[in-house]
Chain A
Amino acid sequence: MNEILWYSSRATGIASIVLLTAVLALGMVTSGRRRTQGDRATVVMALHRWLSLGMLTFLLAHIATAVAETYVSIDLVSALVPFTSGYATVWVGLGTLACDLLLAIGVTSWFRPRIKEPTWKAVHLLSYAMWPIAVVHGLALGTSGEPVLRGITVLCGAVGLGFAGWRVVTSHQDRDRREAVLAQEWS
């Protein structure tokens, strides 16, 4: 039984990081100057939202199995409070931190119609901190003996960084013009 839990924890962790990277990439595609337009934008946005919910189920399973299995000591407290686990305090703590950030991002998105847009945006931008933390957590902890699984995490990192680079490069023209105009007299 313990073995099943342990393997489940690995598997759901990998599934989570793959889905998280996909959600991040889709999110970056919906923002910035070269964002998708029209019907495609609707599809991309829907995928971004529904995949993030799908990812949550894998993540919950990942955390639940990690707490439940008894090879290493990760308790319920360290699933919520970062850097409190007995096992691999730093690396597990990073996972907890990413999870807490994700919780904040998820809750503010759920209540987006009821909160101020700048608040939602500020919290949502934490995604850019949450995702690398999650990837580092995955690289440091998981699957050291299994090159295929490690390769998937590395690939996720590369894809995410690629999209982030694309996002930075493609946003300039718009931002430069906005800032140049904003520097004029408007008040």
Chain B
Amino acid sequence: MTILDGLAAAGLTGRGGAAFRTAIKVRAAHHNGADLIVNACDGEVGAAKDGWVVAHHLDELVRGAALVTPGRRQTVRYAAHRGSGTEQRLRAAGVDVLGAPARYVSSEETSLISLAHDGLARPMTKRAPFVFGGVDSRGRRIRPTVVLNAETLWRVAQIADHGPEWFRSVGTPDEPGPRLVTITGHVSAPGVVETSAGVSLADLLDSAGGLAPQATSILVGGLGGAFLTAGEARGAVWSGPGLAAYGAYLGPGVIEVIDPSSCPLAVVDRMLSYAAGESAGQCGPCMFGLPAIAADWHELTTRPSHEVLTRLRDRLGVVSGRGACHFPDGVARFAASALRVFGPHLDLHVTGSCSRARRLEHVPAR
């Protein structure tokens, strides 16, 4: 069985968040002699699993990368945030490291492709997938390049070693295979755990010490994800369909339990400010929309009114579906779910009775 057949039979999908079928990408990479960029940036807020793969399974990761790039002229580069422990580990291992700025959109696949071509680490418009090659906005040629998440490549090596049946022995038929999840925030044992789709979210959280009784909410998927109330989290299933009801998805596998002693509106406020500052300044909905949304949210937290709430809702609708890298979609989804889950808490701000708001005013952003 070739690796392509193995990947197709296993049903492996990208573990970076978009969940695209890996077999299709790898087939195109073989066919076009594409260069490979291994994305070990952990670009999503709270993510740490790709660094975990580099730290614990680098040999398999390198073998997985070699399976994707069988041609003699195909190069492999390992992308990691500059100054991170992951970057140090990769350099110590002697592989070709692509040091990316430690920024949100710089970790996106087309940003890394641009950076690898001596451009800026900002997203590019995908007229066609860059695995076929293409041009950037200034007309410079981009070599055929495929970007795969570090966990995805580790899974490629595992499927080559153990076969697709082994891979499909866990997970659901639609979302098969083991997958890593980073659990952070208000848990006693934060870290990276291996699980699979279909387990209960409560069991998953138990592997990091469990959901504290006083916890009020969790965030699934970081800045591109959605909030669930603690009650919803206790009953939810860790799978695409199980999370869809809450506007969440498996994504890059990040769960943050929100600290119950902090004001959740302030937490969202900090994350939205961070998001606004991460725009690459290329698309209008992102470079103007996100700061406007962040400012609205801040006003909602400090001086709530129906006007600002209506304006914020309008803006969330306006930025959705726009922007080359869809960063605004993720942020709008995030903010909309925050409105849904923290609506009751917002009433405390209307009456000025949120005891936690003032205390957290000065905590710095991530």
Binding site for B on A (CB under 8 A): 116-119, 174, 177-178, 180-182, 185-187
Candidates B103, B279, B282, B287; contact of A185 at CB < 8 Å: B103
B101 and A118 form a contact (CB under 8 A): no
User: Which residue of chain B is the closest to A180 with respect to CB atoms?
Assistant: B281
A186 and B122 form a contact (CB under 8 A): yes
Q: Is residue B295 within 8 Å, beta carbon to beta carbon, of the partner chain?
A: no
Q: Is residue B139 within 8 Å, beta carbon to beta carbon, of the partner chain?
A: yes
User: Which residue of chain A is the closest to B281 with respect to CB atoms?
Assistant: A181
Candidates B119, B139, B279; contact of A116 at CB < 8 Å: B139
B138 and A118 form a contact (CB under 8 A): yes
A-B interface, 9 closest residue pairs, ranked by CB to CB distance from nearest: A181-B281, A116-B139, A186-B120, A117-B139, A178-B281, A185-B101, A187-B120, A177-B287, A186-B121
User: Which residue of chain B is the closest to A33 with respect to CB atoms?
Assistant: B284
State in angstroms the CA–CA spacing of A85 and B52 once bound together: 77
Q: Is residue B280 within 8 Å, beta carbon to beta carbon, of the partner chain?
A: yes
Q: Is residue B20 within 8 Å, beta carbon to beta carbon, of the partner chain?
A: no
State in angstroms the CA–CA spacing of A130 and B122 once bound together: 35
Residues of A within 8 A of B139 (CB): 116-119
Q: Is residue B288 within 8 Å, beta carbon to beta carbon, of the partner chain?
A: yes
Candidates B101, B137, B279, B288; contact of A187 at CB < 8 Å: B101
Q: Is residue B115 within 8 Å, beta carbon to beta carbon, of the partner chain?
A: yes
A181 and B284 form a contact (CB under 8 A): no
- Chain A to chain B contacts (Cβ below 8 Å), 30 pairs: A116-B139, A117-B138, A117-B139, A118-B138, A118-B139, A119-B139, A174-B284, A177-B287, A177-B288, A178-B281, A178-B282, A180-B281, A181-B279, A181-B280, A181-B287, A182-B120, A185-B101, A185-B103, A186-B101, A186-B103, A186-B106, A186-B120, A186-B121, A186-B122, A186-B280, A187-B101, A187-B115, A187-B119, A187-B120, A187-B121
Q: How far is the CB of A38 from chain B (nearest CB, A)?
A: 14
State in angstroms the CA–CA spacing of A119 and B135 once bound together: 14
User: Which residue of chain B is the closest to A177 with respect to CB atoms?
Assistant: B287
Interface code B264-289, partner A: CB below 8 Å = 1, 0 otherwise?
00000000000000011110100110
Q: How far is the CB of B263 from chain A (nearest CB, A)?
A: 29
Candidates B115, B138, B281; contact of A182 at CB < 8 Å: B281
B101 and A177 form a contact (CB under 8 A): no
Interface code B22-41, partner A: CB below 8 Å = 1, 0 otherwise?
00000000000000000000
* B residues 104-140 touching A (CB-CB < 8 Å): 106, 115, 119-122, 137-139
Residues of A within 8 A of B288 (CB): 177
Residues of B within 8 A of A187 (CB): 101, 115, 119-121
State in angstroms the CA–CA spacing of A116 and B141 once bound together: 10
Given contacts A116-B139, A187-B121, 11 further A-B contacts (CB under 8 A): A117-B138, A177-B281, A178-B282, A180-B281, A181-B280, A181-B281, A182-B120, A185-B101, A186-B106, A186-B121, A186-B122
State in angstroms the CA–CA spacing of A186 and B115 once bound together: 9
Q: How far is the CB of B121 from chain A (nearest CB, A)?
A: 5
State in angstroms the CA–CA spacing of A135 and B281 once bound together: 38
Residues of B within 8 A of A116 (CB): 139
State in angstroms the CA–CA spacing of A181 and B287 once bound together: 9
User: Which residue of chain A is the closest to B282 with respect to CB atoms?
Assistant: A178
Q: How far is the CB of B139 from chain A (nearest CB, A)?
A: 4
Pick from A117, A118, A186 the residue with the most CB of B within 10 Å.
A186
With A186-B101, A187-B121 as given contacts, are A178 and B138 in contact (CB-CB < 8 Å)? no
User: Which residue of chain B is the closest to A187 with respect to CB atoms?
Assistant: B120
State in angstroms the CA–CA spacing of A185 and B279 once bound together: 12
State in angstroms the CA–CA spacing of A62 and B119 once bound together: 47
Residues of A within 8 A of B279 (CB): 181
Residues of A within 8 A of B120 (CB): 182, 186-187
Residues of A within 8 A of B115 (CB): 187
User: Which residue of chain B is the closest to A115 with respect to CB atoms?
Assistant: B139
Q: How far is the CB of A33 from chain B (nearest CB, A)?
A: 9
* B residues 188-218 touching A (CB-CB < 8 Å): none
State in angstroms the CA–CA spacing of A187 and B115 once bound together: 7
Q: How far is the CB of B332 from chain A (nearest CB, A)?
A: 19
Residues of B within 8 A of A181 (CB): 279-281, 287
Q: How far is the CB of B106 from chain A (nearest CB, A)?
A: 7
State in angstroms the CA–CA spacing of A117 and B138 once bound together: 7
With A116-B139, A117-B139, A187-B115 as given contacts, are A178 and B101 in contact (CB-CB < 8 Å)? no
State in angstroms the CA–CA spacing of A186 and B26 once bound together: 29
Q: How far is the CB of A129 from chain B (nearest CB, A)?
A: 23
User: Which residue of chain A is the closest to B106 with respect to CB atoms?
Assistant: A186
User: Which residue of chain A is the closest to B288 with respect to CB atoms?
Assistant: A177
Interface code B304-331, partner A: CB below 8 Å = 1, 0 otherwise?
0000000000000000000000000000
State in angstroms the CA–CA spacing of A117 and B122 once bound together: 19
Residues of B within 8 A of A186 (CB): 101, 103, 106, 120-122, 280
Residues of A within 8 A of B103 (CB): 185-186
State in angstroms the CA–CA spacing of A178 and B287 once bound together: 8
Pick from B121, B139, B281 the residue with the most CB of A within 10 Å.
B281
Residues of A within 8 A of B122 (CB): 186
